[in-house]
Amino acid sequence: MNLSFLRLSVWIYLAIFFAYLLGPLVIMAVTAFNSPSFPSATPWECLTFEWFSALFQDTRILNGIKNSIIIGAGTVVLSVLMGLAGALMLTQIWPKLRATYYTVIIAPILIPGVVLGISTLVFWDRINRMVGLGPDSVLSSGLFLTILGQSTFIASYCMLVLVARLQRYDTALTEAALDLGATHAQAFRKVLLPFMRPAIASAAVLAFLASFENYNTTTFTFGEYPTLTIELAQKVRYGISPAISALAFIIVILTVFAALTNEAAIRRRELVAAARREATVAELSGGGVKLPGFLSGNAAAGLLVALAIATIVVVGTATVYSPDQCITDIREQKRIEADLRAEELRRKRDEERKLKAAEEPAPAAPTGTGTSSGSFGGVFDPNALQNAPAAPEAEANPPAGNNSGFGGVFDPNALKGTDN
């Protein structure tokens, strides 16, 4: 009983944790399809695709995507190169320097992105001035600064990924190549590089993603090249719109696609390997191995196909579907509701006024209120407000002869009077 209780609590904890992790994304995705212009999931009004078309008509977003891709490409090249060089250097650096060197190249991960952005900006500004170039030279261009600033720490990530693979490399392979007469460049290109290829690929993907989503460093260096993240931040800070949810939804879907494709490919490779292992020698030599189909026993591939079909269906619906009818209905409904509410308010006010009028005989009513016949029952009548508080104050204050709200406590005479 104790064990099953433990298991249950583990599952509940996992559920809560993943709800915290994924819930916000799901809700954001829902708001991309809801019609109110403030992104909200509740109340649900109309299914609409207009936020997607609004997104694709936003030139600033499109321009940001373009800049992000250019900067991402530059960052990938620079940081993978520096990361690889840094990783190779780590394996053969003078032992006494090793700890210091490792601290230096790992530090950019820990330095706040803001600090990296500032230091890049300040340093290259100074170099620019030393060289004597104007304010619009290459050295102060946003493109150049952003690539350098981002590469500073993204190269450290790449280095970590590459070092993990490099540790399994047998340096005897390079030595063998050199003994057989290869030049150093050839040995590097034909022996080490093919071995490192998977790690280089994952480092490049990691570098691009890190560059694409970076905000803290870029916000100081971007200059005239605002990236997508910068544009999004400015939009989100000065008024949010469901078009941003639409963009997020697209990114999430692309991510899921990429992840599922990767999963499906891995699973397929495993299945193929298993099939080959079980095949007889005759089958193998005859080329008659029955390889499993793409979809059999591969849940990720199945999901991938389902997601692709769903996407096509949704896009197809979006082109023919028009939410206009629903939106006008909702608008009409809202108008009726507002009318009803106003009507009710008016009735209540009327009743209150009648009640008041019945309680107080007509001559005692404050002057002026009676003339007001608006639906607000005279609350906006300036006289109504003035008359009411004036009466009690006049009663409380007469001895001090002071009309301030502090009831005369700051009156120097008042203090003297009590002292004596």
Of residues 248 through 277, those in contact with another protein by CB under 8 A are 248, 251-252, 255-256, 258-259, 263
Contact partners, residue 83, CB within 8 Å, separation at least 6: 155, 156, 157, 158, 159, 161, 162, 203, 207
Among 8, 12, 19, 22, binds another protein (CB under 8 A): 22
Contact window for another protein (CB under 8 A) among 147-155, 363-371, 398-406, 411-419: 147-155
* Residue 384 host element (H or E): helix 382-396
Long-range contacts of 312-318 (CB under 8 A, 24+ apart): 318/49, 318/52
49/220 with CB nearer another protein: 220
Q: What DSSP string describes 245-292?
A: HHHHHHHHHHHHHHHHHHHHHHHHHHHHHHHHHHS-HHHHHHT---PP
38/380 with CB nearer another protein: 38
Note whether 77 binds another protein by CB under 8 A. no
N-term to C-term CA, the chain: 82
∠238-221-55 over CA atoms, to 5°? 40
The position carrying tokens 């340096």 is 171
CB of 49 to another protein, least distance (A): 19
Note whether 201 binds another protein by CB under 8 A. no
The dihedral built from the CA positions of residue 388, 391, 397 and 401, taken in this order, carries a sign that is positive
Among 12, 24, 337, 379, binds another protein (CB under 8 A): 24
Contact window for another protein (CB under 8 A) among 206-214, 357-365, 390-398, 411-419: 206-214
Residues 351, 346: Cα–Cα separation, whole Å: 9
Note whether 414 binds another protein by CB under 8 A. no
Task: Give me the residues paired with residue 34 across strands.
Answer: 47
CB of 58 to another protein, least distance (A): 15
Contact partners, residue 401, CB within 8 Å, separation at least 6: none
274/388 with CB nearer another protein: 274
Note whether 184 binds another protein by CB under 8 A. yes
Instruction: Tell me which residues in 92-121 interact with another protein (CB under 8 A).
Output: 92, 94, 99, 101-116, 118-120
258/313 with CB nearer another protein: 258
337/351 with CB nearer another protein: 337
Residues 141, 146: Cα–Cα separation, whole Å: 9
Note whether 308 binds another protein by CB under 8 A. no
Note whether 397 binds another protein by CB under 8 A. no
124/225 with CB nearer another protein: 124
Note whether 222 binds another protein by CB under 8 A. no
Residue 60's alpha-carbon distances to 123, 164, 217, 226, 230, in angstroms, are: 29, 40, 20, 9, 10
Residues 135, 106: Cα–Cα separation, whole Å: 32
Note whether 31 binds another protein by CB under 8 A. yes
106/400 with CB nearer another protein: 106
Note whether 5 binds another protein by CB under 8 A. no
